[in-house]
Structure 1
């Protein structure tokens, strides 16, 4: 498994990051303090945080452990992540349509769309080229390197988009912004490096 700092990173339990991603997603979905089942917007931040933090970071941690089963679990988690991010995108798209608001008018929107597109592309490449059973380029070290670093960049984009979106909703509350962003900073050490 290795020694030193790299080995300790792979030993990070998945559940704290997963739990924080779910909790932060639900919390970010309640700008007024309550969940509103009939408001499309509430599904956007919860789906995106669960997708990109809970599932995406968990998939990265599982993959770092190595092995055949962990690689397949990584792919399954990333499929779930990508599909849930698509649901989150649809929720905000539908919300903007209902209120006649324009689409893609902020850094938050552009970063989020880039992350969603990258996750979709990375999943397709992982399935077709890198799947341990059927991947046509599963032994390519160059493609694996690009896939790994592309995933890290895509996840970093998603996390920046999440912080920007949260900060837009709570522009005057620096404490709340810090409480939201700090766990991502800690998780990035384990998931992205």
Structure 2
């Protein structure tokens, strides 16, 4: 089954609270990364939810275009976040990408860029000769879910960093961890439920 309306509302409140909390911390890197994955990428996927989408009455083609725009905004913010931390490390003479958070974060930004480029044939289907639109959508949804999970794990690893754990109290840390974890579960439920429902209809 698709997610309920109350679950979508819970996610929205949780996501807004998480973003406002990170806004209070003086760092451009977590700000841009949280904006990229907690806002733009999450909302890009939720556009296709029959309960949580603000444009659920719009044609699927329109949703696809808005989804792609949000994904491009996600990639832009992710690149800015990556540039911010790279420049900060350069100024302080620190090595780059030495932690699991840094390595996975770099991989995630690259994958988001590839995922956005790979979506172009979905918008202009004539570019993908020999591929059915249904098969392209299925592959895009599967790879998109993997990309989102990579972003969620990167966020969680960032919350485990020495900087973040020193900046917040214990209870606030647990609440912060709950937000990306809950978002990941909701997105997994939406994507898997949607394609399981399509398979049942086709069988």
Q: Could you tell me the TM-score, scaled by structure 1's length?
A: 0.79
**1:135 to partner: Cα distance:** 5.6
**1:136 to partner: Cα distance:** 2.2
Counterparts in 2 of 1:16 and 1:73: CA distance versus 1, 3 Å: farther
Match of 1:103? 96
C-alpha RMSD of the superposition = 2.6
Match of residue 130, structure 1, among 122, 133, 137: 122
Q: Structure 1 residues 138-147 or 80-89, which shifts more? A: 138-147
Counterparts in 2 of 1:126 and 1:55: CA distance versus 1, 3 Å: same
Match of 2:13? 16
Q: How many residues align?
A: 175
Counterparts in 2 of 1:15 and 1:105: CA distance versus 1, 3 Å: same
CA distance in 1, matches of 2:106, 2:89: 15
Q: Is 2:35 aligned against 1:43?
A: no
3-state SS of the aligned residue for 1:103? coil
**Contact 1:21–1:50 (8 Å) recurs in 2:** no
Q: Is 2:23 aligned against 1:26?
A: yes
**Contact 1:18–1:58 (8 Å) recurs in 2:** no
**1:18 to partner: Cα distance:** 5.1
**1:141 to partner: Cα distance:** 2.6
**Contact 1:17–1:53 (8 Å) recurs in 2:** no
Which stretches of structure 1, 4 residues or more, deviate above 6 A after TM superposition? Answer: none
**Contact 2:104–2:150 (8 Å) recurs in 1:** yes
Match of 2:135? 142
Match of 1:115? 108
Return the structure number with greater relative CO, CA threshold 8 A, min gap 6.
2
Match of 2:2? 6
Counterparts in 2 of 1:24 and 1:59: CA distance versus 1, 3 Å: farther
Q: Which runs of 5+ in 2 are unaligned?
A: 51-55, 190-203
Q: Which runs of 5+ in 1 are unaligned?
A: 36-41
